[in-house]
Amino acid sequence: MSAPARGVVRDRWGVPHVVADDLDDLARLQGTAAVEDRAWQLELVRRKAEGRLAEVLGEGQLAGDVLARRAGLASLARRSHDAADAETQAFFAAYAEGVNAALPGARAPELERLGVVPERWEPWTPMAVFAAHHLLFGSFPTKLWREHLRRHLTPEQGAVFHDEGIWVPGSNSWVVGGDRTRSGRPVIGGDPHRTFEAPNPYAQVRLTCPAEGVDVAGFTFPGVPGVQHFAHAGEVAWGITNAMGDYQDLYVERFEQDDDQVRALGPDGWEPVERHLETIEVDGSIAPVEVEVLRTRRGPVVLLGDEPGTAYSLRWPADVLGDLGLGTVVPLLRSRSVADVLSALEGWVEPVNNLLVADTAGAIRQQVVGRVPLRQEENRWRPVPAWDGSSAWQGWADLPGRDVAADEHVVTANHRMPGFDVVGVEFATPARADRIDALLDGATDVDVDTCAEVHGDVLAGQPVALLEALGRLTEVPDDARALHEELLAWDQRFDAASETAAAFVAVRDAFVARLAASPPFDRLPAPTHPAYLASWFDVPTQLYLSLANLLSERGATVVPDREVHLRAALAEVAAQPRTTWGSRHVYQPFTLVGEPGVGAPPLPGDNDCVRCAGQVPGTSTASRGSVARYAWDLGGPHLSGWVVPRGAHGDPAHPHFDDQQQAWLDATLLPVAGP
């Protein structure tokens, strides 16, 4: 059988299958294919990384542009590129060449609507895109939230929010050893959870280079070459979840200024501060905005402080090392074994990931990868004074992992695992992990269909605390008794057609809304931070995520009248017309320009179901959940499956814009086809 011809061919769902003569050619063709499929998205992510979205989208994008400029994402990308090995530099340069070669023919309705002509990419641009995806992925927004609690609540009141169940990007992933699979080889399944966006943050791709023995199918961030987090490479496959690593520190900086010289107070006294001005152009009626960019010995200043002369600087591994970890991309493509993948990811920096990897020889490993600094405990919880020398970093942590036997399975779902105290301080509730573990326990002949069934599971993850509280209620109002009994008998499944699931969430929403408007939580003022941090400071959402604590004995001392609020919430919902869960829980991805191009189909699942589809309390749009699903069978790519919401192309008029949507809604997987 002859080798496939060089070029980009597409399968029946429009997924690009790139066949190249060498690795640089592979990157070049992948860049061209990315423009063909996602021209607007590439312009969007490039401008986001460079802090230039307001140029075309106006004042509403100014705060994000200011953050990108202050954090120095473009400068970090240049440093990371310049420090990379020659092979990595060539690979990223080739990808940029492929993008630039296709840009003159780029077509997208958003570009036409805005009158934007895409600009050329530099070899470091893909690295800046990767950095922009992950700046807010870490822990610094949560540390600002905790500081907000410290300022306005007592320690006892604030502690009810310290719960395993925080609102973060997450994922599910699992691996089953070959003794229990249909193919006799390990199977890895999973799905990353991020904000639902249009265009989708992940794209499918298959990259083949016969001369290098490379044939890798996986997911990529449009604008970044190779595959980064999820892939089947024939003899080895891998997937990741967010390990919930705490690797970002915020320092409270205190400044003084004489003429043009700015100094920051450090552990040894006043220190010079790097300072320059940048100008952000803004589409619309307002004048260009001048941004002061400051960098202390801790890191770049990302936010102004609440008191005059103060600010917050951010210290995170990529910035400290001048390395985004993308020197791993080419070695990952060449990997043939678990050992190869682990060797490649020794260079991973951030985000800190919980890796599952398996190969055709039967080796399986769970391993946390990335960089987590060693420092005092206080750094891990809240902003610390820059002038306190005890807050300095003291090296890097050794991260946990273990081998997995052929008759075992392992689940990772952002929860606390053995040895994870060194990784972070707060993790997701174990509800999703426990449910996947129960579904896989004792399972044999595991295959792609088994994984699809796991993906689609909608049993509620953690309604127990609220249902138990409802069961303890006394003096239930007469007009709410029927609803009360219905909820206590509920099967706890978030099916789209379930009226009881909708009623349960309505009670939950009404309850947390009442709590948020009552003491002591009504003392929490609106934050003064930029809008991109708003979701971390939404009090009803934070209360919802902390229900287990609020409804515990400890919570009773903070909210002694919580039964009054719960009884009132129950009565409020009982008086409302009935509806189904799917009618108030829909998929409508966020988009910056125009309409998302799809209707608003009903979504089963909830934030803590295996089928993750979370929403902000009181809203009807699911805001985050599975942005890709996969099942990698080491029996071969032909036994594997994948799917993304909507489809491979970004243009609503394109036939491959939404041809995967029904499969995604049905929680089924499509075959990973060959080139």
C-alpha 76/C-alpha 128 separation (Å) is 7
Query: CA 645, 650, 653 angle in degrees (round to 5)?
Result: 105
Q: Judge contact between 357 and 364, C-beta under 8 A.
A: yes
Q: Which amino acid is at 479?
A: D
Catalytic residue among 2, 75, 80, 171: 171
Greatest Cα pair distance in the chain = 78
Q: Which one, of 219, 193, 239, lies nearest residue 354 by Cα?
A: 239
- DSSP at 105: G
Compute CA 295 distance to the chain's CA centroid, rounded to the nearest angstrom: 27
- Residue 50: Cβ-neighbour burial (10 angstroms; 0-12, 13-18, 19+): buried
C-alpha 641/C-alpha 632 separation (Å) is 7
- The dihedral through the CA atoms of 129, 339, 355, 144 has a sign that is negative
- Residue 300: Cβ-neighbour burial (10 angstroms; 0-12, 13-18, 19+): buried
Q: Tokens representing 594? A: 């125009």
Alpha carbon distance, N-terminus to C-terminus of the chain: 13
Peptide bond into 201 cis (omega under 30): no
C-alpha 601/C-alpha 582 separation (Å) is 8
- The β-bridge partners of 359 are 236
For 532-566, letters b (16+ CB in 10 Å) and e give: ebebbbbbbbbbbbbbbbbbbeebeebbeebbebb
3-state percent breakdown (helix, strand, coil) of the chain, nearest 5:
40, 20, 40
Q: Tokens representing 173? A: 């992933």
Alpha helices in 210-366 (DSSP H): 317-321, 329-334, 338-344
- The β-bridge partners of 263 are 256, 272
Q: Judge contact between 484 and 566, C-beta under 8 A.
A: no
**Rounded-to-10 torsion of CA 277, 278, 282, 286:** 10
Enumerate helices (H) and strands (E) in the chain, giving the number of each.
Answer: 22, 27
Concerning whether 626 is annotated as a catalytic residue, the answer is no
Q: Which amino acid is at 60?
A: G
Q: Judge contact between 35 and 223, C-beta under 8 A.
A: no
C-alpha 62/C-alpha 278 separation (Å) is 13
Q: Tokens representing 439? A: 């579904």
Q: Judge contact between 313 and 302, C-beta under 8 A.
A: yes
C-alpha 563/C-alpha 624 separation (Å) is 30
Query: CA 95, 100, 104 angle in degrees (round to 5)?
Result: 150
Residue 590 CB neighbours (<10 A): 12
By annotation, the residues acting in catalysis are 171
